[in-house]
Structure 1
Amino acid sequence: MVLKLARNAISPGHVTQRLHLIVAFLVAAGHAACATPCQFETQGEGRVAAIVDARSVRLDDGREVRLTGIEATATTRQALTSLLAGRDVILRSADDMPDRYGRQGALVFIGESDISVQATLLAQGDALVSAEITDKNCAAALMSSEAEARRQKKGSWADPSAIKNAESPDDILSGIGRFMVVEGKVLSVRQAGAVTYLNFGRNWTHGFAATISKRNLPAFENAGMTLKSLENRRIRVRGWVEGTTGPRIDVLRVGQVELLGANEPAGVRP
């Protein structure tokens, strides 16, 4: 009697419905698997014939490719050589428009790997996120790779001075012309003409500041980041250091600024 009831409980219609649900689940899972960050349109492929510099390679067909999304550290070129010399690669990006030097900017993938060379370099601590990639998912994935290396103090992050202290402007100014990561508390937010200053020191002339042009403000507003709200907040800023008396970083993209928790240890935010 129990067996008979069990058989009657599962009708052919119920079986068909369950099969449809299983198929739908597998299809959805397949789509999720394909939604790997940074999987932009393929813009070509080739074999790496030479490492030009810490962020550029030359393919066997003569094309020069610049690795987008990262800035170099002291170990980037050596790591890039180990990863890419003589390897077959696939180039992915939103477009294949060359830069003013004729280089094709792209995320580089070795063979059929779904992990970019940029993500690998970041995870090893052999590069810094440049914040130039605007796709949110891809940018977040690259930042996550860097954060993991930072937590584990890999590569360049093993050096305590890898992240500069905003309260030591002379230390930052010594790296003028270099790409740096700086952390500190924003003491004031001031606007002068078409530029907003995030001041990290009381002496506006000599203290470190991040500058944001008025034309870039809409991007921050669209991201839900009001600059005035950054006052008295700890943030991390990345970019090229410039200035004469006081060091400056010109913030061109929202991704150059990260909010930090009030009690968070320096250099460990994911």
Structure 2
Amino acid sequence: MRRTTIVTVTAAMLGGLGPASAQACENLRLVPGGIVAQVTDGDTVVLDSGLVVRLIGTQAPKLPLGRDGFPTWPLAPEAKSVLEALVLKRSVQLGYGGEEMDRYERALAHLFLSDVADEPVWAQLHMVRAGLARVYSFPDNRQCLDQLFAAEAQARTERLGIWADPYYSVRAADRPAELAALAGNYELVEGRVLLADQSGSRVYLNFGRIWKEDFTVVIEAPALRLFEKDGLDPLTLDGALVRIRGWVDNRDGPRIEVTHPEQIEVLARR
């Protein structure tokens, strides 16, 4: 079921985490995938048919993969190894819940081991629970995120995998100079919204008083339509303690553009 609230991780969600199964991942179009022939990194595999599958909903630490000057992110080899141990040479199913192919002709799917006796094992949940991937969603792929968010919260609390490495630390919204230096990175940023305001077709969540220097979240009109469709109003976030996830840019201070509601986790209301 599509989310109807901005993400709020609760103790009940954390306590309800069971095996890394597909139980909570519903409303997908399930198709046979074949055999995993290769694991490229912690969130990408190649099937015996040649189809490249991007494990939608997650982002594992990145490897260079032939890109000049691209650094190996901390724990990237470990993430690849764990995914290999889970799925390599195994029969899998693909679950589609949104856009099915990207511009690189990779399948955008949830990946399930289909050669197990009980409930199919969900690869994305396995990686997030191990602390070797974080939740990474898209406006056209929003299925099956609740349990992934809960698993990420638990892994972060237990400081598993990436959550024990400063490279992946949750950043403070009230340190704009540090955030500006992270432009071009995908980050989690936590802080209290000082002012939620609308200007024309955009909503701004401001985290400081100097709008051109402090951290800001920008929500454009297409994203606002998704908020409205889900019965959400980001203008109600005045004073809320939130965690934002997304790509940092540096235009009139550090900012993250929010393209869909799941990029905002509400930690506490005013």
Same fold (TM over 0.5): yes
Quick one: structure 1 residues 98 and 215, their matched pair in 2 at CA, closer, same or farther if it must change by over 3 Å?
Answer: closer
| 8 Å CA contact retained: 2:22, 2:121 | no
| 8 Å CA contact retained: 1:43, 1:95 | no
Select 2:123's aligned residue among 97, 112, 117.
117
Quick one: structure 1 residues 177 and 96, their matched pair in 2 at CA, closer, same or farther if it must change by over 3 Å?
Answer: closer
* Structure 1 unmatched ranges of 5 or more: 1-33, 264-270
Counterpart mapping for 1:1-270 below 5 A = 36-39=23-26, 40-73=28-61, 74-75=74-75, 76-94=79-97, 97-111=100-114, 112=116, 113-132=119-138, 133-135=141-143, 138-159=144-165, 162-261=169-268
| 8 Å CA contact retained: 1:56, 1:66 | yes
- Structure 1 distance, partners of 2:213, 2:261, is 25
Max Rg structure: 1
Higher relative CO (Cα under 8 Å, sequence separation at least 6) belongs to 2
What residue is the counterpart of 1:29 in the other structure?
A: none
- Structure 1 distance, partners of 2:178, 2:42, is 24
Aligned residues: 228
User: Displacement of 1:262 after TM fit?
Assistant: 5.7
- Structure 1 distance, partners of 2:98, 2:189, is 32
Quick one: structure 1 residues 168 and 82, their matched pair in 2 at CA, closer, same or farther if it must change by over 3 Å?
Answer: farther
Partner amino acid for 2:101? P
Partner amino acid for 2:238? E
* Structure 2 unmatched ranges of 5 or more: 1-20, 62-73
CA RMSD of aligned residues (A): 2.3
Farther-moved stretch of structure 1 (100-109 vs 152-161): 152-161
User: Displacement of 1:245 after TM fit?
Assistant: 4.8
Quick one: structure 1 residues 244 and 228, their matched pair in 2 at CA, closer, same or farther if it must change by over 3 Å?
Answer: closer
Q: Give the structure-2-normalised TM-score.
A: 0.76
Q: Give the structure-1-normalised TM-score.
A: 0.76
Partner amino acid for 1:57? V
What residue is the counterpart of 2:66 in the other structure?
A: none
- Structure 1 distance, partners of 2:176, 2:99, is 39
User: Displacement of 1:121 after TM fit?
Assistant: 0.7
Quick one: structure 1 residues 177 and 47, their matched pair in 2 at CA, closer, same or farther if it must change by over 3 Å?
Answer: same
Quick one: structure 1 residues 114 and 154, their matched pair in 2 at CA, closer, same or farther if it must change by over 3 Å?
Answer: same
Relative to its length, the structure with more helix (as a share) is 1
- Structure 2 distance, partners of 1:185, 1:206, is 16
Quick one: structure 1 residues 153 and 198, their matched pair in 2 at CA, closer, same or farther if it must change by over 3 Å?
Answer: same
